[in-house]
Each structure stands twice: as structure tokens, then as C-alpha cells.
Structure 1
Amino acid sequence: MISRIAEAELINLSQQYKAIAVIGPRESGKTTLVKLVFPDKPYVNLENPDMRNFASEDPKAFLDQFSKGAILDEVQRTPELFSYLQQVLDENDQTAQFILTGSNNFLLQQSITQSLAGRVGYLNLLPFSLSEVENLAPTKIHELLFKGFYPPLYDKPFEIQKWLSNYISTYIERDVRQLRSIENLVVFEKFLKLCAGRVGQLLNKNTLAMETGVDSKTIESWIGVLEASFIIFRLQPHHKNFNKRVVKMPKLYFYDVGLASALLGVQKAEQLEFHPFKGSLFENMVIVELLKQRLNKGKLNNLYFWRNSKGNEIDIIIDNFDELIPIEIKSGETITKDYFKGLDYWNNLTGLTGGRVIYGGSQYQKRSHGVEVIPFASLAEINNR
């Protein structure tokens, strides 16, 4: 079994909160992790129709079975439980009574906010990080972009493209129907594929609406569906205006780069070696890796990008409150002076020094003015630098 970095944070939360919610995309390893950390707790899968009906129709009797708590998997399927769960938690001071998992952030957050606010500790669990599978992951960039990081692909010898295609089909048929009464799933799938074609780009909802054939309000609703089920996220522009002309649109990224590749129609890894989207997908992979490093330790997302109206841009700004760390992301394996243009502009504008370039090569360099060039394979060490 592959160890998860987030295990330490889950144990930490279990010593503080009466209930813990582990949320993340389907197949990210939530059930495996909570069963490992809480092996003595009864496990209930609320995707099971019989269990779900019992919990929905008689929530009090359902919870009475578990005097010492339980693991409730996909608990967003039974919102009727939460008000009764509140009473159970309030009657006992024991920590880590119930462990809740969910792959639908909107429905789960809605239920917890209404009934369990202040009683629940949160852990966001995304698919594997690069450091968790460093001895198992492909070493070539195009192969890594094709495979992505969903745990089942590292557990069994699945055909990658088929597994990801099935994941997409199952997601659309099951999770999308739970969140919204979307009548035309064929159009929604077209929208999903168009999103993959916008990885790393500014999110223009009007253009996306025209290409999909729906209005912009529908696009906003559908983006909300994808965000709530941990398919995509919006990277926000940094709010500090150094010259009052910054871009205010967010950028679009996928939580798993393999899924984005599959939606682009990539059939095999070799097709990505010289693919026009290789740079955008590499950028996506690096940004999500940085995000995982935060979430696995229970920290909030502090990642932004910066871009002004003239097109000058920094791929990532890490905002540590008392310092801003600019990062440029380059998929190429050979370091060139163009890699430093964005950082030079940023440092001249802000009066700051330093920054990082994360690239597809293998050589670490420390340049003048504190700029570091870091191979993508050393991403796991970036927070220690």
C-alpha cells in the first residue's frame, strides 16, 4: 500500500474534532485512508441502496447502531442524517466519533454548514502527489501527463485510456445527475471537453457559452458542478495591483492532468511528446502538485497567478502573507534565457528579488539574484527550499 502524506493531518484532526470530513474526487483514496487510520470503526457505504434507504428513512435508528461511531462513506447521499448526527456528537465529548467521506463538495458542505458547523474538521484528499509515487510514476514527462495520479492506476495494471474514459462516463452519468438536473448530457460532455482545451487559459465564460451552445449562466452553473465534484478548479489572479492594470479573470485547471489529457482525446502517451497542449498540461501538473503539498498538510490554498493587461505574466504566486514567491513553469528540458523573462519583469516591477523556475529538465541551478531553477522531479522538496 502506498503511504499518504495526508495521514498525519488526519490523525491530527482526529485528536481535535468530534467528526472529520475527508473530501475529494472519486477514486482519490479517501476510503482506503480512513479505513487504515480507523481500522476498528464500522464501515458503511451510503452508495449502497439498502443502507442509503435505511439512513434516509429512519436516520435516528440508523445512527443508534453505532454507539462508538463509524465511517460513513459518500455521506452527501443522505442529507437527512446530519441533524441527527449533530445531536449524537453533542451528547458525547469523544473526538473522532464519526468519519465522513464525500466526493461532492457542494452537497456535503451544504449539509455540514447547516447542522455540524464547528464540530467537523476537514481534510481535502486529492489523487497521489508526485512524491507519494516517485518510485512508481513514469519518469518521462509525456507519460506522466498521460497517466495522471488516480490511485487505481498505480494499484492495478489498467489500460490507462480506457480507465479514464470510464471514469468520465461514470462521473457524467452519476455525479452530474446528483448535482443538477442537466437534460442534455451530450452537451455537458462537450462542455467538459472544451474545458480541457482551456487548461491554463483565462476563463472567458461568454466564449465558452458560444462554443457549447448554451448561455453564460448555464456555463457558470456547470463550472460549479465540476468544481463541486473535484474535476476542475479556478486559479485566482493575485489581488495586489502593482500597476493598477492587472487581469481579474481566473484561470482554469484540472485536479488531475491525466483526466485532462483523456478529455483532449489523447489515446497514448507518445502523442503528448510533441502535442501543442504539452506545456499547458505540464503547467497544470505542477500547479496541482503545489496545491497537494498544501492540502495534504491541512493548509489553505495560497496559490495565485499574476498577469497584467499587456500580457506580462507569472504562472504562480505563492502568497505567504509576509512574502510573495513568483514561480515560472516551463515544460522544456533545456534552460534558456526566455525562462527568466517573466521573473525579471516581476522583480523590476515589485523591487523584489528571487523566484523559481520549475522545468522539465533534471539539473538544479542557483542563478544570480536568488533565482532557483528546479527540475520537476524535485517538486516534493520545493517547500523546504
Structure 2
Amino acid sequence: MIIQREMNDSILSTVDQFPVITITGPRQSGKTTLVKSLFSDYEYYSMEDPDIREFALTDPRRFLNQKNSAIILDEVQRTPELLSYIQGIVDRKPLSTRYIITGSHQFELIHQISQSLAGRTIIFKLLPFTISELKQFVPEQSLDKFLLQGFYPGVHDRRLNATLAYKNYFETYIQKDLRELIQIKNLRLFNKFVKLCAGRIGQIFSANSLSNEVGVSVPTIQSWISILEASYIVFFLEPYYANIGKRLIKSPKIYFYDVGLASYLLGIETEIQMERDPLRGNLFENLVLMELVKKRLNKGLNHNLYFYRDSNKNEVDIVYQSSGQLIPFEIKSSETFSKHFFKGLKYFQNLFPERVKKAYLVYTGNFEKEMNNFELIHFTKISQMID
């Protein structure tokens, strides 16, 4: 069963507007399935295949002009040299979409594209399933199962045990990719570092703190975290800045692109363990944030999401900025509503009375109601609250 991805229409709307369409995202997020289904008449080549890679690098012009056909180049970061040749070809025939390229290392690939294909391509970022996409597989699922299994397509379409699937993902893709990008001298310390990052979900990121706990230098921590970010493992949510005379937190908060991988790294293997885990609320916050991120990225747009926190610990979990308006979100894993949940939202609304017209409390309960400018919503509806 092929899941209809929410990004499909956004991609198809750009066909013939750009000679190259680029799709990045984590390993195993569904990029290959997506491009093969949307562009089934294109010739497909995986740059992971050593024979194809050798042919492409030995005679790039011949490779790219085979049959004069449109081509999909999967995992093109393995052959960055091709991008300069693609530039020359599309400059001669700029009107039709001739190449679909995919890649899994966002910083490396985007840097390569900016050098060779600036102005010639549009870039989409495909993340694992959204809740609504996953419901095409599983109509009803508990929160704890969402948190445990995550949203990677392979876990669901092959009905895999989540713990074993993410163990394999971590060992096969993350460690493999990272060994190709940087020299990891001590894999044990690196694994400890990644697990400590999972334990800090929703917290302010501190390289110094991790350096002390892992026992490596701050530059090493910074190198490792940049690679995790480039590989779509960790996500940084930046603070919202405004000239309001407040001392604001300026460091980002750390999250994971997928809660299932984070749950595996935390050693959570069953729904019962998840229900009792002290980081369940942090993982829930992570899930909600990524639903909003996916909503925006699936449209090919910047996410425009932030958090707010000042030195007096006044905070809002997520702030969405759109057309001069601010929409704050408070996230609670509780099924029971309490009025004190609105504290942060009220504070933020008072700071920006002209810009905050709506505010949302996202929780796991089924009671939904609007109270003044505050609205209670179930977490499965979160993506409907932003454009």
C-alpha cells in the first residue's frame, strides 16, 4: 500500500517551473517511494549502487544524457560532481523538469546545490509520516503507541517491532553515514552522546553540559551535534526574539525529528514503559512540534516556528509567526484540563496584545472548547491550526 503523502500536490505544482526538483530528508523517510510514484515515467538511478555510481562519475555527460530522458537521481550526495554537469544541461534546456534529485544530508547537499544549481531548483524536505498520513495505515492508535513507534514508514508498512527497527536504523544509517562524514574515534562515547541528547528533548541545548557529561571537548560536541542536525536526527527550535525590554533565552531547544527513534534511544520498549516514563511529556511535546513542522515543510515553506522563554521562566512551548501575527501553543500530555495550563499563554498574549488573536492549549483529552481567545484542542488536530 502506497501512502498518499501530503507533499505530493506541492511537488507536482512545481513541475516545469524548475528544471530540477530536489527532495531532501532523513534516510528511510519515503523519498524514493515518493519520487518513483510521482514520476514513474522517469529513468531511476540510485547513487548508492556502486556500478551506477562508477558509470556516472566516469562519464557524467553520457550518463546524464542517456536516451535524452528525464532522470531521477537518488541519494545524489554520493556523486556531488554530477551537479555541475546538470547545471550545464539545464541551462541549455531550462523549461522542462529534467531531473529529480534526492539526498539525505541537508547541509552538505544544500551547500552543493547552492554552488551549482542556485536558481535552477526548488528544494522540498520530506520527513516521516504525519499523523493523518499514518491513519491511512492505522485508523486508530493510542498516544503511547505513536510515541513508541514513531512515524518512519518502514516501521508501519512492514509491521516491524519498533525497538528492533530503530536499533537497526541507528546502527545501519546513523552510524554508517556519520562514519563517512567525520572520524568518530570512540563510538561508545558517541552513542552515549546521542542518548543524552534524547534525554534532553524540549530542553535548552548546552554543549558545555554535554561536554562535561560525555567527557569530550566542546568542539567535539559541536561537531557531533551539527552532523546529527545535518542527518535529520535532531532538530533545533530557535527562541522568538522581540524588542520588549525582557531578558530572553537565546539558545535553542533540542528535539528529535522522530519520537520513535528518541524513544528507542531512551530505552523505552513497551507502551506500559512509555506510560510511566518521566520523559513522556517531553516526547509528546516533540510529537506536536514535528506535526507543525511537517505541515509547513510539506507545503515547501519555512516552518516559522519558535519558542518563548525569558529569564523569569515565563515561557510558551511553541510560537508560530505568520503575516505579522503570533500564535502561541502550550502543550500538555494530560487528558484532564486545568485552567493553570493557560498561564504561559496569557502572559504571552499580554506581551503582544495586537499580534496574538488566537492561542491554543494542545492536550490529550477529548474535551474541546474555546475560552475567550484560548482554545483547547486534541493533539491529532494540531496541524489544522496553522496555514
- SS of the residue 1:47 aligns to: coil
- CA separation in 2, counterparts of 1:173 and 1:273? 29
Q: Is residue 91 of structure 1 aligned with residue 95 of structure 2?
A: no
The answer to whether the Cα contact below 8 Å between 2:17 and 2:95 also exists between their aligned partners in 1 is no
Shift of 1:92: 0.9
The within-5 A match list for 1:159-174 is: 159-174=161-176
1:185 alignment partner, one of 184, 187, 190: 187
Q: Is the 8 A contact 1:356 1:374 kept in 2?
A: yes
1:66-77 correspondence runs (5 A): 66-77=67-78
Cα distance in 1 between the residues matched to 2:267 and 2:360: 32
Runs of 4+ in structure 1 deviating by more than 6 angstroms, as ranges, are: none
CA contact (8 A) 2:45 2:73 kept: yes
- The one-letter amino acid paired with 1:11 is L
- Give the aligned residue type for 1:273: E
Q: Give, in whole Å, the separation in 1 of the partners of 2:128 and 2:119.
A: 27
Q: Tell me by how many angstroms 1:53 deviates.
A: 1.8
Query: Which residues in structure 2 correspond to 1:52-131 (within 5 Å)?
Result: 52-131=53-132
- 1:160-211 Cα distance to aligned partner (Å, 9 max, x none): 1100110011123321022212222222111111110110000011001111
Q: Distance in 1 between matches of 2:351 and 2:118?
A: 43
The amino acid of 1:310's aligned partner reads N
Query: 1:241-295 deviations in whole A, cap 9, x for unaligned?
Result: 4232110010001000101100101111221112100000000000000000000
**Does the 8 Å contact 2:16/2:95 carry over to 1?**
no
Aligned residue in 1 for 2:260: 258
Is residue 347 of structure 1 aligned with residue 349 of structure 2?
yes
Comparing 351-360 with 272-281, greater Cα deviation is found at 351-360
Q: Say whether the 8 Å CA contact 1:55–1:80 is kept in structure 2.
A: no
C-alpha distance in 2 between matches for 1:354 and 1:39: 43
Give runs of aligned pairs for residues 305-344 of structure 1, distance below 5 A: 305-344=307-346
The residue that corresponds to 1:236 in the other structure is: 238
- The match for 2:366 is 362
Q: Is the 8 A contact 1:130 1:380 kept in 2?
A: no
Q: 1:217 corresponds to which residue?
A: 219
Instruction: Select the residue among 141, 158, 168 that pairs with 1:156.
Output: 158
Q: Match of 2:51?
A: 50
Q: Which moved more, 1:340-349 or 1:119-128?
A: 340-349
Provide the TM-score with structure 1 as the length reference. Answer: 0.96
Equivalent of 1:373 in 369, 373, 376: 376
Rounded Cα–Cα distance in structure 2 between residues aligned with 1:212 and 1:246: 28
Task: Give the paired residue count.
Answer: 383
SS of 1:381's equivalent in the other structure is: helix
Is the 1:131–1:380 Cα contact (8 Å) retained in structure 2? no
Kept in 1: contact 2:235–2:257 (CA 8 A): yes
- Structure-to-structure mapping, 1:263-282, within 5 angstroms: 263-282=265-284
Assess, with a 3 A threshold, how the Cα gap between structure 1 residues 367 and 66 changes in structure 2: closer, same or farther. farther
Distance 2:352 2:324 in 1: 14
- Change in 2 beyond 3 A, CA 1:138/1:232: farther
- CA distance in structure 2 between the aligned counterparts of 1:83 and 1:299, rounded to whole angstroms: 26
Q: Give the drift of 1:133.
A: 1.6
Contact 2:207 2:222 in 1 (8 A): yes
User: Where does residue 15 of structure 1 map in the other structure?
Assistant: 16
Task: Tell me how far apart the structure 2 counterparts of residues 99 and 333 of structure 1 sit (CA, whole Å).
Answer: 44
C-alpha distance in 2, partners of 1:321/1:3? Answer: 30
Structure 2 CA distance, aligned partners of 1:79 and 1:381? 38
| SS at 1:319 equivalent | strand
**Structure 2 unpaired stretches of 5+:** none
The one-letter code of the counterpart of 2:151 is F
Query: Counterparts of 1:278 and 1:117 in 2: how far apart (Å)?
Result: 42
Quote the residue 1:383 is aligned against: 386
Alignment pair present for 1:287 and 2:286 = no
Whole-angstrom CA distance in 2 between matches of 1:330 and 1:278: 10
Rounded to whole Å, the distance in 1 between the matches of 2:328 and 2:386 is: 13
